[in-house]
């Protein structure tokens, strides 16, 4: 397998966060997860995303420790689960995440959903405290709609660094992209391949054929054009490498316009505890 190499300075970044990361959702086998993380880091990835609910923070930490990459060069993100969002619970569970990951700080800590034990007045001051204590560098939120973001920005002392949302050519999130641009909040897109649905979209496949590349790379390159950081899940070295090679794909204006014109709203992640009304 030939792997495309990129110099560290060639990898696009958003406010210090590499704009392509490795997602680890459903990578629950400890050995496989650790190996995926190690493989990605040694391939050139510098952004690793996990969450408490994934049950793999220990394995992610093992992969980071096994990789021949300095911890200081890695942008590491995890998320507080919705049952751990009371003030004291958030403080305690964040410390537990650091222990599982085997690190002394986390680059970006997200509130995973504005649900269950989430209370802006309780949860968000705890994140400010974690940042002030040097346990986290940046505060993030996930699956927040504009109304949640407005409230969070009112409560937090620190700025919201990123909002992680489902985003892909079949769920383009134009309103949240506009909000983020105006507010100076980075957008991180999970499920950037629409959980495989983009492979069945003729427009995307046509663009992939034109560039002699994969539909996955086209979707990831389109997100980058929209200033969205993508964190595709991948476990095999081949998929990790294919996603990585998207950094070398430049879509032309016609490609971007073709994807922009796809008229579908296909939300793949919609749990019963999600926002009552997606805006």
How far apart are the C-alpha atoms of 161 and 164, rounded to whole Å? Answer: 10
Counting every residue written for the chain, the total comes to: 279
Beta bridge partners of 2: none
How far apart are the C-alpha atoms of 240 and 229, rounded to whole Å? Answer: 16
Query: Residue 23: which H helix or E strand, with range?
Result: strand 22-23
How far apart are the C-alpha atoms of 110 and 139, rounded to whole Å? Answer: 6
Going by C-alpha positions, the residue among 222, 220, 215, 209 that lies closest to residue 253 is 222
How far apart are the C-alpha atoms of 28 and 58, rounded to whole Å? Answer: 10
Give the single-character DSSP code of 233: B
Which residue bears the tokens 């391939």? Answer: 43
Going by C-alpha positions, the residue among 189, 241, 230, 248 that lies closest to residue 36 is 241
How far apart are the C-alpha atoms of 22 and 234, rounded to whole Å? Answer: 7
* Residue 255 CB neighbours (<10 A): 22
The residues that are catalytic are 54
Pair 162, 137: CB distance under 8 Å:
no
| Rg, Å, the chain Cα set | 18
């Amino acid at each position: 397998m030939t792997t495309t190499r990129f110099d560290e300075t060639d990898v696009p970044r958003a406010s210090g966060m590499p704009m392509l990361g490795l997602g680890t959702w459903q990578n629950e086998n400890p050995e496989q997860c650790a190996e995926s993380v190690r493989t990605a880091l040694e391939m050139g990835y510098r952004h690793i995303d996990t969450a408490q609910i994934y049950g793999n923070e220990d394995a992610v930490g093992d992969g980071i420790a096994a990789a021949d990459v300095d911890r200081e060069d890695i942008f590491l993100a995890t998320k507080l689960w919705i049952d751990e969002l009371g003030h004291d619970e958030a403080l305690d569970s964040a410390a537990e995440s650091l222990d599982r990951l085997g690190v002394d700080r986390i680059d970006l800590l997200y509130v995973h959903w504005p649900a269950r034990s989430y209370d802006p007045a309780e949860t968000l001051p705890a994140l400010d405290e974690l940042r002030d204590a040097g346990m986290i560098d940046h505060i993030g939120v996930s699956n927040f709609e504009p109304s949640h973001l407005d409230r969070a920005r009112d409560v937090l002392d620190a700025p919201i660094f990123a909002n992680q949302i489902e985003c892909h050519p079949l769920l383009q999130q134009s309103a949240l992209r506009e909000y983020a641009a105006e507010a100076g909040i980075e957008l991180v897109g999970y499920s950037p391949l629409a959980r495989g649905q983009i492979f069945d979209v003729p427009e995307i496949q046509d663009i992939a054929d034109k560039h002699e590349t994969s539909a996955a790379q086209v979707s990831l390159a389109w997100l980058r054009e929209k200033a969205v950081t993508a964190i595709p899940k991948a476990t095999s070295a081949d998929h990790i490498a294919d996603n990585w090679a998207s950094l070398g794909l430049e879509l032309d204006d016609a490609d971007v316009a073709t994807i922009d014109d796809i008229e579908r709203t296909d939300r793949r992640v919609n749990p019963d505890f999600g926002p009552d009304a997606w805006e």
